[in-house]
């Protein structure tokens, strides 16, 4: 894995080599959107000069998000219901592979990201210097981020870095770029907003090279959802990812430790049976649950270690072969 040395400037290309007219495209922007009719049109129009195609995934919106995006010149795929950001990105990645894209940029549909910074994010991928580029609002010298969000981001950065083994300064930033290698490797189990955290597990698992790039995040509108609720969803998804992607560290080893501790408590309780004390009663209550949950964690970790690689292989092979997941309005 690679990370830019301190003080080193990231490439800032100002133009791209566009693909010749054929059935395949070179660069594709994927924009997941849910009820973003006010912003999606301008986001599409501002993004188009920097990529060959723009693909909007309308994740079950009840407003005119799909119509506005299509009118602005984007390909549009609609989900019949709201399935979450992770599911929308999976749909976009499937379509990107079908289109033969060699580089993909992910950008949110709410206008928080500046499309003119796409060259900064996409540049290292196009130059072959990274498999994934993660935008970071905290690499900007004067980042205008609300204080409560800064505290939340720091906590999530710490948690995600510890459990995934990949440390980023802005783990929850959705402005990213993927190489073809990353595009082929990525398939998200997370349905919601923990998908950015899941990428860090996938980076480690597939040995992908990554860098961060300074980007601007704009806070124009009132949040559509509670930052606290969204943060708790990310924490929950990250902890699930720890058990799923790193079962040895987070299930098997703790499971063995819990079982051994419960066994030691049981032996100590047996040796102290002749003593009538509250401590003996407490030990007798604790040992069996600890041994049970330790055994359960160990068993779950072993099963995941054996089964998950096969599951991942099946998902990866199915991604390329399956039909387009939902309705492609571009064909209507």
Q: What is the CATH number of the domain that holds 161?
A: 3.90.550.10
Tokens describing residue 230? 């969204």
Q: In this model, does residue 319 exceed pLDDT 50? A: no
pLDDT(258) > 60: yes
Boundary-marking domain end, from 189, 224, 259: 224
Residues 161 and 250 occupy one common structural domain:
no
pLDDT band at 226 (very low <50, low <70, confident <90, very high): low
Has residue 44 been placed in a domain? Answer: yes
Q: Give SS3 for 106.
A: strand
Does the pLDDT value for residue 210 go beyond 70?
Answer: yes
Q: What percentage of the chain exceeds 70 in pLDDT?
A: 68
Distance CA 10, CA 138 (A): 15
Residue-wise over 260-292: b if at least 16 C-beta within 10 A, else e?
eebeebbeebeeeeeeeeeebeebeeebeebbe
Q: Is the pLDDT of residue 325 over 70?
A: no
Structural domain of residue 162, as residue ranges?
27-224
State whether 137 and 268 are in the same domain. Answer: no
- Last residue of a domain, which of 158, 191, 224? 224
- What gap in Å lies between CA 118 and CA 54, rounded to an integer? 13
Express each pLDDT in 234-254 by its tens digit: 777 777 777 677 766 666 666
- What span, in angstroms and rounded, lies between the C-alpha atoms of 54 and 45? 9
Q: Is the pTM of this model over 0.95?
A: no
The pLDDT tens digits of the residues spanning 105-156 come to 999 999 999 999 999 999 999 999 999 999 999 987 766 777 778 888 899 8
What is the DSSP secondary structure assignment for residue 135, as one 8-state letter?
E
pLDDT of residue 276: 54
SS3 179: strand
Same domain (yes/no): 34, 168 = yes
Beta-carbon count within 10 A of 305 CB: 14
Are 211 and 279 contained in the same domain? no
In DSSP notation, 1-47 reads ---PPTTPPPP------PPPSSS--SEEEEEEESS-TTTHHHHHHHH
Bridge pairing between strands 27-33 and 176-179? unpaired
Do 315 and 175 share a domain, yes or no?
Answer: no
Query: How many domains are there within the chain?
Result: 2
Boundary (domain end) residue, out of 224, 257, 285: 224
On whether both 205 and 303 belong to a single domain, the answer is no
């Amino acid at each position: 894995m690679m990370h830019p040395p301190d003080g080193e400037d990231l490439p800032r290309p100002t133009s791209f080599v566009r693909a010749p007219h054929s059935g395949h495209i070179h660069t594709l922007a994927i924009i997941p959107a849910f009820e973003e009719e006010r912003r999606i049109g301008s986001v599409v129009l501002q993004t188009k000069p920097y990529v060959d195609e723009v693909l909007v995934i309308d994740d079950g919106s009840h407003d005119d998000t799909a119509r506005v995006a299509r009118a602005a010149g984007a390909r549009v795929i609609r989900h019949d219901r709201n399935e979450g950001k992770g599911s929308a990105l999976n749909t976009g990645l499937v379509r990107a592979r079908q289109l033969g894209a060699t580089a993909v940029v992910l950008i949110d549909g709410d206008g928080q990201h500046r499309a003119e910074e796409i060259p900064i994010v996409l540049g290292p991928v196009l130059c072959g210097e990274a498999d994934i580029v993660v935008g970071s609002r905290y690499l900007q010298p004067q980042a205008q981020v609300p204080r409560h969000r800064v505290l939340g981001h720091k906590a999530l950065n710490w948690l995600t870095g510890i459990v995934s083994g990949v440390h980023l300064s802005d783990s929850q930033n959705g402005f990213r770029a993927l190489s073809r290698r990353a595009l082929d490797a990525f398939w998200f189990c997370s349905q919601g907003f923990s998908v950015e955290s899941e990428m860090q597990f996938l980076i480690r698992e597939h040995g992908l090279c990554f860098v961060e790039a300074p980007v601007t995040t704009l806070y124009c509108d009132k949040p559509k959802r509670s930052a606290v609720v969204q943060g708790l969803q990310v924490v929950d998804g990250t902890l699930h990812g720890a058990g799923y992607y790193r079962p040895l560290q987070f299930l098997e080893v703790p499971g063995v430790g819990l079982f051994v501790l419960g066994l030691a408590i049981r032996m100590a309780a047996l040796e102290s049976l002749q003593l009538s004390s509250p401590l003996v009663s407490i030990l007798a209550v604790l040992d069996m649950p600890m041994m049970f949950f330790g055994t359960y964690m160990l068993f779950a970790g072993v099963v995941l270690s054996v089964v998950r690689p096969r599951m991942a292989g099946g998902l990866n092979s199915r991604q390329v072969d399956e039909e387009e997941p939902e309705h492609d309005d571009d064909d209507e």
